[in-house]
């Protein structure tokens, strides 16, 4: 956050090889924070056993609007079975953040 405190929010994720992909909207807290300080942490818990988890620490290497609209639709299909992301706000600009992991632990 602006005062240096961590910001936490659930996100849908994807990956391209070793790069983690997160999709958000331009101007949201997550996007603004990553633009100011690219360090991020992701915690992924097993839905059947929340004590089984993977933690990724890394940095947002890039933020781009290129392919972000198509990517959020792919994530909607993956996570909720919808062909299109249903919660897009009018005028919303999607942003694809590419996160390069520095450390992965389980």
Name the token pair of 65: 């609007």
Locus of tokens 């603004």: 32
Mean pLDDT by 10 residues, the chain (106 residues): 80 95 95 92 91 94 97 97 95 97 94
Q: Read off the DSSP letter of residue 88.
A: P
Distance, CA of 104 to CA of 20 (rounded, Å): 11
pTM of the model as a whole = 0.89
Domains of the chain: 13-105 (2.30.110.10)
């Amino acid at each position: 956050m602006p005062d240096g405190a961590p910001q936490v929010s659930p996100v849908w994720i994807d990956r391209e090889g070793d790069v983690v992909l997160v999709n958000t909207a331009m101007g949201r807290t997550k996007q603004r924070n990553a633009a100011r300080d690219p360090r991020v942490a992701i915690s992924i818990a097993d839905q059947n056993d929340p004590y089984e988890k993977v933690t990724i620490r890394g940095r947002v290497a890039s933020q781009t609007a290129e392919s972000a609209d198509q990517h959020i639709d792919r994530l909607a299909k993956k996570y909720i079975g919808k062909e299109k992301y249903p919660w897009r706000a009018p005028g919303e600009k999607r942003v694809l953040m590419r996160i390069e992991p520095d450390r992965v632990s389980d």
